[in-house]
A and B are shown apart, each in its own frame.
Chain A
Amino acid sequence: MTGHPTDRLTDFLEGTLDPAARGTVAAHLAECADCRRLLAELGAVRQRAAAWRPSPPPSDPWPTIRHAIRAAPRQRGWGRGRHRRWIVAGAVTAAAVAFLVFGRGVFRIERTPPNAPATSSADSALDAQWRELRPHLGAEVTAPVAEALTLINVSLSEITAAMVDDPGNPLLQALYERALADKVTVLMDATARLIPTRRG
């Protein structure tokens, strides 16, 4: 055999050569002590990597991580079917909002801007609007609106958690925007109830 199959020894070691090439290399190894030695050294590197125990890193970010996980929403164990369940969850939320608040469609309202980020400040702004609006509403309006907003907020937090796992998913983005739009609808209708209250 002419030449040493040096470049193929790692693939030989990993078992990634096709049978013919593997046979050729094996035949060479049977005759070539230098290549057997090189193969053993490459194997030693491989074993060294497998046995590697990292040295202690210079810094320990655990306090920051602990602080963050105490505030972090956790993803549910939905596995592969989670996106499908989001469709159901979104539909249920929308229907519940419609039923609980005004008994009519909630999708007629204009959508929030399509470029709204996954963790939009728009949501926080809507919450702030609700806090401002709430003291001026009667109990007959406040209770169903609060319940509807709770449902929407649960959906928003879970959609946001799913986005962490799959940030580029357009379905999740659409559901997020839909939930925000639902929230806008609820608040607008609540505001509409506010006007006669003030006039009355």
Chain B
Amino acid sequence: MRHSNISATRGISRGAPDDLSGEGDLDVAEREDVVLAQHGDEAAFERLYRRHFPRVSRSAAWLMADADVDDVVQEVFIRVWRKLPTFAGRAPFGAWLNRVALHVILRHRRRRGHRREREAPGAPADRSSGGGLADVALAFEDAVGALPARAREVFVMYDLNGIHHDEIAVHLGIAPETSRSQLHRARMLLRRHLCEDAPR
């Protein structure tokens, strides 16, 4: 079993965290599924969907109101299906998918207007877990969801989806320096959640 280091899990531009499993066997399986899905294999596409849907769904929830998430996620994967024959494999599939998803999500935001995007997303209705690692994941997600809107947006794009500050700046209509400062703000706030003995 192979566990990638951080830099190895960065994808397209700065590198998206596409290696969701950290396991080489799954990477090979995913490449096979990508090829199969490119040739119209629906079962292979469903496997790709199953692997990437949670990340896309959660990112969409963080970047826009929960009410629109299902519609957006559907559009993302329908669009991925349509565009899949154009995927040349130069970047990891997960990074490519993240980018497609981001474009769809941000287009929905623009279409909807900019007011609601500043609202903090509510916590998912069902936050029960099986304990252990699941609780850790939920705690992290709750902490991200509690970030101020702009800091959350930048953190989700940069740290969770591998988008460069320059591109984030274009998408959000802010300066790259603002994107960098919001990332710092997000990490400082998250540090207080994640590091028990960090200064409050």
What residues make up the interface of A, taking CB atoms closer than 8 Å to B? 7, 9-11, 16, 38, 41-42, 44-50, 52-62, 64-66, 68-70, 72-79, 161, 164-165
Contact = CB atoms under 8 A, between A and B. Distances in A.
Given A16-B180, A55-B137, A69-B42, A45 B83 contact: no
B77 A53 contact: no
A48 B141 CA distance: 11
Nearest to A76: B85
A54 B54 contact: yes
Given A58-B125, A69-B81, A72-B81, A10 B184 contact: yes
B187 interface: yes
A50 B88 CA distance: 25
A2 B79 CA distance: 53
A55 B81 contact: no
A46 B49 CA distance: 26
B6 A55 contact: no
B188 interface: yes
Interface in B1-58: 6, 9, 17, 20, 40, 42, 45-46, 49-50, 53-55, 57-58
- The 9 A-B pairs with the shortest beta carbon distances in the complex, nearest first, are A54-B54, A10-B184, A49-B159, A57-B57, A69-B81, A77-B85, A54-B58, A41-B191, A50-B6
A97 B195 CA distance: 69
A72 B77 CA distance: 11
Interface residues of B, number: 53
Contacts of B85: 74-77
Contact of B82 (A45, A49, A161): A161
A15 B109 CA distance: 31
B73 interface: yes
Contacts, number: 124
B190 interface: yes
Interface of B: 6, 9, 17, 20, 40, 42, 45-46, 49-50, 53-55, 57-58, 70, 73-74, 77-79, 81-86, 88, 124-126, 129, 133-134, 137-138, 140-141, 155, 159-160, 165, 180-181, 183-184, 187-188, 190-191, 194-195, 198
B159 A42 contact: no
Which of A10, A47, A76 has most chain B Cβ within 10 Å? A10
A62 B134 CA distance: 23
7 contacts: A7-B181, A11-B180, A48-B194, A49-B160, A54-B55, A57-B53, A75-B85
A45 B194 contact: yes
B131 to A, nearest CB: 12
